[in-house]
Structure 1
């Protein structure tokens, strides 16, 4: 806790001071253009990964970056509804990550024998292993985990589209969905491309434009 309190002091003396006008503006309300759905894993920091300021991302986190299918009673769906209907976000990113514990558990259900609530939650990724095997065949354990993480992003995008208000926003052209994966060890981000339904570097994804002169890319 001492580290956290020291961090508050540093934040107030540095970041807050530099962006005081931004925080003053945010104090009156929020209008984030993007909702970012990702895992609760402590190694994943959406604002750090994307270089975003406070107010840029409306973030939803849970184990395995999951969205319940057609479920109007969950906290996840309520949060997504607020983002789409009240905040009018234009983009929703579903971002999985390497070495995801939730996806490891889908490959080894017995690991959740002492975690009944976790086991129940993982039903939101039911059949992800079978879907992965149908798409890619048998793989090594390491590769299988990578592919299950990707397949879970596909599945959660489908679950998003099962929500009536998301489907309506998509049909009206006021919302776009994005599937990403983040490699913790490499800092790399990949994006799901509709055709051929595979993940490529976010910098090679056709729908994004990056100013390399300002991004520091070679």
Structure 2
């Protein structure tokens, strides 16, 4: 869509949707209270609010190349600040990391050597924060055919980000007290289906009625 098309959309939004839902936006002007932090890729084919049918104010959304959250202390980043603000400031009760099929970032991660000259900034981002996923996939699944290998990389990358989230002090604290849940999702563009990681089955399964919070084996409840 061109900028002209975007402006036409803005005009339609204001004259139709905004006018019809003016009370909602007036209420939102007084503050936000989303219950979910939704972390996903910058890919233009993914719209978190569309696929979840969420209204304005219901999702706190973070997006970047490859839906990557660096581990705590790995870098002074907008991602770290966003996680901390969502949990400690906004008070979300669930964090969803949602990867997607045909992810260009994961394709690049599996062939990272070709990126260094063409897209040096993308190369640096993936090399610094995607190495754990790359190493796991190539060391354990090198025999798998390329299409299946990409799917494995996408899923393992989501699980890596869940592990990285658990290194954040504010996340650890909320997990310990039962005030926060982490969810690993994968959106399939061509079917519109979403799959959630089921730790009991150790695989991503079709998401129907409920999600499966990823349990943290390091969290233990200590009696007072």
Q: Settle same-fold status: TM greater than 0.5.
A: yes
Name the TM-score, length of structure 1 as normaliser.
Answer: 0.90
Residue-by-residue CA offset, 1:5-64 (whole Å, 9 max, x unaligned): 000011112211221111110011001000000000011100001000000000000000
For the pair 1:194 / 2:194, whether they are aligned, the reply is no
Matching of residues 13-162 of structure 1 within 5 Å: 13-71=15-73, 73-113=76-116, 114-122=118-126, 123-133=128-138, 136=141, 138-162=143-167
Give me the whole-angstrom Cα distance separating, in 2, the residues matched to 1:184 and 1:153.
Answer: 16
SS in structure 2 at match of 1:58: strand
Q: Is the 8 A contact 2:36 2:95 kept in 1?
A: yes
Give me the whole-angstrom Cα distance separating, in 2, the residues matched to 1:83 and 1:169.
Answer: 12
Give me the whole-angstrom Cα distance separating, in 2, the residues matched to 1:126 and 1:132.
Answer: 10
Q: Is the 8 A contact 1:30 1:55 kept in 2?
A: yes
Number of equivalences: 208
SS in structure 2 at match of 1:61: strand
Q: Is the 8 A contact 1:181 1:191 kept in 2?
A: yes
Moved beyond 3 Å, runs of 4+:
133-137, 204-208
Corresponding residue number in structure 2 for 1:173: 178
Corresponding residue number in structure 2 for 1:213: none
Q: Is the 8 A contact 1:65 1:94 kept in 2?
A: yes
Cα pair distance change 1:207/1:153, threshold 3 Å: closer
Give me the whole-angstrom Cα distance separating, in 1, the residues matched to 2:170 and 2:27.
Answer: 29
Question: What's the offset of the Cα at 1:207?
Answer: 4.5
**RMSD of aligned Cα (Å):** 1.6
Q: Is the 8 A contact 2:196 2:212 kept in 1?
A: no
For the pair 1:5 / 2:7, whether they are aligned, the reply is yes
Residue-by-residue CA offset, 1:108-166 (whole Å, 9 max, x unaligned): 01231222211111121113133135555621100000110000000000000011111
Moved more, 109-118 or 99-108: 109-118
Cα pair distance change 1:197/1:205, threshold 3 Å: farther
Question: What's the offset of the Cα at 1:205?
Answer: 5.1
Residue-by-residue CA offset, 1:52-83 (whole Å, 9 max, x unaligned): 00000000000000001112621100011000
